[in-house]
């Protein structure tokens, strides 16, 4: 079956494949040559839109101011300000951006500058787009006049839309930019926003400090009262229990303190012994050779045994690889390793016994000390209990006193900060009146329009090419069906063509008393009227290719075929016949399309007999032949009253073979206009009777899928294909496609009559 050849281009150094299509530098240039009107159109549309935008867009002016977030200013009253190097969290700076853009801050600016009275902000002059939008929104509103709050909210939205606040790189500087149609207004608004932010920060800090001071005052008073009450409770308790303090304190208190200390230590020792015992019992069932177990034990004996075990393990692995695990030496090493593991386990058990003994001793000591403490407590009786309660009272009194002192210090600092508030933000660059518009930027818009238009144009051009399923260049034809493209025929059709009858002399083989003539339209005799046209020269190239093929094999019967009807194969066949006859070769043109008889209607509309009658008696075919007196072309028409249902059988019949055998002896070139390949089977059926076929492909119309289906559907057609020709090419686009051939390429052609 037919297989299209691979898309291999030896001349394409740089080529990529997209969706099965090879996109090389040469292919790109071809696309640009073919599609430059589309690219130019897209570029023109884009540039028109850009120019219209520049013409109708209002010039905008942008004023800029900058604010620094500096926490060191707030440390002026801090006693540690000399050494403080506090850094600001980036999230804090981003939060300040949101504060600047907040509705409350912008609303304060709107009210301070009375922006609701400005037409730019109150919507009294909305412009064309705003007017249309307002009309549409009015359809869904109640129709009531807007309230003051609504007008203010609209002004806030306009300010927020034109305000741009951003952080300058990784610094603590905020850049505020505001754009407006009035440069003075832009300067006033952005400066007002910056001042409102700084003042708002001061007010916020003042309010925060004020609220903190009030709360500290209230809390300090409560703590003072609690500290005084605690001190009184301590003194009252001492007086009631006759407790007099000395430099060393009471004897029972001293003894109880010592025993308590010893008891705490004993409990700690017991807990430590218990932890070690639990640990040693937990690791006894594990692999004691593992490093984690050895590190946990930190025992020199186990460390030494483990080192021996690891050495033997390495030796065992080496011997196992060399001699195998069943070797006696390997077995001996394994046994020694087991003995070492057992020794390690025994040492661990010994340590466990020692830990168990230590734990029992610690428990006994703890129980003894606990009993002594209980005895001493019993002996001390009320005196000891009083001391415990006294300590609680003294501890509470000390706590309240310390809290009171700390809050009193914070209250003093807050009072000072309230009287001298400092903001963390300050303006480092005040906005000035802008004298140059910031938008629209004419040069940037034009450059962007050119780049964007070219990108869109290139995209549309390549999309049109890559998504196209038709062929326009010889290379595409050769890549698709694997045969040589013999040329590109320009479209010779005109909007209106008058049919001009041409009288032809009767055939020399016809009876002398029978006047036979054919008519020729302008398209069918184009090569006669314009012998130096590109159309004629391309047909000469087809004849040269046939003559070259005739050097190695017999090529007399030539079929002209196409995939679908209306692709121009009949016009190609008629002109090729005239061209061959003009060169002095005896040429016979046969209308082999028994379905439409297009060639007969074009050349011999008045003929009474033709191919069917010649098939009945091949040796008398001369009576059906009509000859052009101008070119000497012999034409065998097809005449029948009704369409034949067995046309394929007729074309492939023995009678047709006999007829072709007879005419081979009388003509050098026999050209047959065959039926299209896809609709009917006539061409496939007759393919074994022709020597070569020329495939006509309509330029820019015949799809690749139709061409592949037509050619791959018949192996006989594939073998007989001499080449293909692109027909009806757009002359203007053909010039663009072949621009690489130079401006003098078409100088040899004369298209006029």
Position 511 scores a pLDDT of 37
pLDDT at 229 over 70: yes
Q: Are 653 and 538 in contact (CB under 8 A)?
A: no
Q: What's residue 561's pLDDT? A: 93
What is the rounded distance in angstroms from the CA atom of residue 161 to the CA atom of residue 158? 5
> Does the N-terminal peptide bond of residue 496 adopt cis geometry, omega within 30 degrees of 0?
no
Q: In the prediction, which pLDDT does 127 show?
A: 55
- E runs forming strands in 646-691: 669-673
Structure confidence at residue 441 (pLDDT)? 83
Of the pLDDT bands very low, low, confident and very high (cuts 50, 70, 90), residue 244 is: low
**CA neighbor of 487 nearest in space, from 539, 439, 449:** 539
CB 685 within 8 A of CB 675: no
Residue 693 phi/psi, 5-degree rounding, is: -130, 140
Q: Which of 78-87, 292-301, 506-515 has the lowest mean pLDDT?
A: 506-515
- Please work out, in degrees rounded to the nearest 5, the angle formed at the alpha carbon of residue 7 by the alpha carbons of 487 and 562: 40
Of the candidates 184, 185, 187, the one whose C-alpha atom is nearest the C-alpha of residue 176 is: 187
Q: Which of 67-71, 495-499, 566-570, 644-648 has the lowest mean pLDDT?
A: 495-499
More confident position, 410 or 585: 585
Residues 452-481 pLDDT 10s: 988 998 888 778 777 777 888 888 888 888
Is the model's pLDDT at 722 over the cut of 60?
A: yes
From the centroid of its chain, how far is CA 86?
A: 43
**At 13, phi and psi to the nearest 5?**
-70, -40
* Residue 45 pLDDT: 92
Phi, psi of 725 (to 5 degrees): -140, 135
pLDDT of residue 363: 82
CA pair distance 636, 690, nearest whole angstrom: 16
What is the DSSP-derived secondary structure letter of residue 644? -
How far the first Cα of the chain sits from its last, in Å, is 46
Cα separation, 700 vs 466, in Å, equals: 13
Greater confidence, 373 or 535?
A: 535
Note the pLDDT of residue 383: 63
The pLDDT value given to residue 291: 47
Determine the pLDDT at residue 742. 64
Q: Pick the more confident residue, 323 or 739.
A: 323
Higher pLDDT, 190 or 700: 190
pLDDT at 128: 53
pLDDT of 419 higher than 60: no
User: For residues 652 and 644, what is the distance between their CA atoms, to the nearest angstrom?
Assistant: 14
Query: What is the 8-class DSSP label of residue 554?
Result: -
Q: Which of 158, 70, 153 is nearest to 104 (CA)?
A: 153
User: Higher model confidence: residue 236 or residue 565?
Assistant: 565
Average pLDDT, the chain: 78
Residue 3's pLDDT is 43
Tokens 């001369």: give the residue: 622
- The percentage of the chain sitting over the pLDDT mark of 70, rounded to a whole number, equals 77
pLDDT tens, residue by residue, 3-34:
444 444 444 444 555 544 556 676 677 777 77
Give the single-character DSSP code of 125: S
Whether 573 contacts 589, CB under 8 Å: yes
Query: What is the enclosing helix (H) or strand (E) of 688?
Result: none
């Amino acid at each position: 079956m037919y297989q299209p050849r691979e898309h291999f281009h030896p001349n394409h150094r740089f080529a990529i494949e997209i969706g099965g299509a090879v996109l090389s530098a040469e292919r790109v240039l071809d696309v640009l040559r073919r599609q430059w009107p589309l690219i130019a159109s897209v570029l023109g549309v884009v540039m028109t839109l850009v120019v219209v935008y520049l013409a109708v867009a209002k010039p905008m002016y942008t004023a800029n101011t900058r604010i620094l977030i500096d926490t060191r200013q707030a440390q002026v009253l801090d006693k540690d300000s000399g050494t403080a190097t506090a850094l600001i969290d980036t999230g804090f700076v981003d939060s300040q951006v949101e504060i600047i853009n907040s509705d409350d801050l912008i609303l304060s600016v709107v009210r301070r500058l009375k922006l609701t009275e400005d037409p730019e902000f109150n919507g009294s002059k909305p412009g064309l787009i705003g007017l249309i939008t307002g009309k549409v929104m009015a359809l869904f509103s109640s129709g009531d006049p807007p309230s003051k709050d609504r007008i203010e909210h609209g002004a806030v939205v306009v300010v927020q839309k034109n305000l741009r606040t951003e952080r300058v790189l990784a610094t603590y500087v905020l850049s505020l930019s505001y754009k407006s149609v009035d440069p003075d207004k832009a300067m006033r608004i952005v400066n007002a926003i910056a001042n409102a932010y700084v003042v708002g920060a001061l007010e916020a800090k003042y309010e925060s400090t004020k609220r903190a001071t009030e709360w500290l005052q209230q809390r300090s008073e409560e703590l003072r009262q609690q500290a005084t009450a605690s001190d009184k409770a301590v003194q009252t308790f001492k007086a009631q229990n006759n407790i007099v303090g000395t430099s060393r304190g009471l004897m029972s208190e001293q003894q109880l303190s010592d025993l308590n200390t010893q008891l705490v230590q004993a409990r700690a020792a017991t807990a430590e012994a218990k932890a070690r015992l639990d640990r040693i019992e937990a690791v006894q069932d594990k692999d004691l050779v593992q490093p984690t177990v050895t590190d946990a034990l930190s025992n020199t004996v186990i460390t030494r045994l483990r080192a021996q075990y690891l050495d033997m393990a390495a030796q065992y692995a080496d011997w196992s690889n060399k001699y195998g695990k069943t070797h006696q030496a390997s077995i001996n090493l394994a046994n020694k390793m087991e003995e070492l593991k057992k020794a390690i386990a025994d040492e661990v058990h010994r340590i466990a016994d020692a830990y168990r003994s230590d734990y029992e001793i610690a428990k006994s000591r703890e129980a003894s000390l606990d009993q002594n403490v209980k005895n001493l407590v019993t002996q001390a009786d009320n005196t000891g209990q009083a001391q415990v309660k006294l300590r609680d009272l003294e501890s509470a009194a000390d706590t309240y006193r310390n809290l009171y002192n700390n809050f009193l210090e914070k209250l003093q600092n807050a009072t000072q900060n309230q009287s001298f508030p400092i903001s963390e933000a300050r303006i480092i660059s005040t906005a000035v009146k802008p004298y140059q518009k910031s938008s629209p930027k004419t040069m940037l818009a034009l450059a962007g329009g050119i780049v964007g238009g070219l990108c869109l144009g290139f995209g549309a051009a390549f999309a049109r090419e890559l998504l196209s399923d038709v062929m326009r260049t010889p290379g595409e034809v050769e890549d698709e069906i694997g045969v040589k493209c013999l040329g590109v025929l320009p479209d010779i059709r005109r909007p209106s063509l008058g049919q001009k009858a041409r009288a032809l002399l009767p055939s020399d083989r016809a009876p002398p008393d029978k006047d036979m003539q054919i008519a020729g339209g302008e398209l069918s005799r184009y090569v006669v009227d314009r012998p130096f046209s590109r159309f004629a020269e391309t047909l000469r190239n087809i004849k040269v290719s046939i003559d070259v093929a005739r050097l190695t094999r017999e090529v007399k019967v030539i079929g002209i075929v196409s995939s679908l009807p209306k692709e121009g194969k009949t016009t190609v066949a008629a002109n090729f016949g005239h061209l061959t006859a003009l060169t002095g070769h005896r040429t016979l043109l046969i209308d082999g399309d028994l379905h439409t008889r297009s060639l007969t209607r074009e050349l011999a509309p008045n003929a009474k007999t033709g191919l069917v009658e010649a098939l009945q008696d091949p040796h008398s075919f001369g009576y059906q032949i009509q000859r052009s007196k101008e070119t000497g072309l012999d034409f065998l028409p097809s005449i029948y009253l009704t369409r034949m249902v067995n046309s394929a059988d007729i074309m492939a019949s023995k009678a047709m073979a006999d007829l072709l055998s007879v005419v081979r002896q009388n003509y050098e070139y026999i050209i047959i206009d065959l039926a299209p390949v896809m609709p009917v089977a006539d061409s496939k059926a007759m393919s074994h009777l022709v020597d070569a076929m020329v495939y006509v492909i309509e330029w820019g119309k015949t799809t690749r899928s139709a061409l592949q289906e037509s050619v791959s559907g018949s192996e006989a057609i594939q073998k007989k294909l001499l080449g293909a020709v692109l027909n009806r090419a757009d002359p203007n686009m053909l010039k663009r496609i072949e621009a690489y051939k130079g401006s003098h390429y078409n100088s040899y052609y004369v298209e006029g009559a």
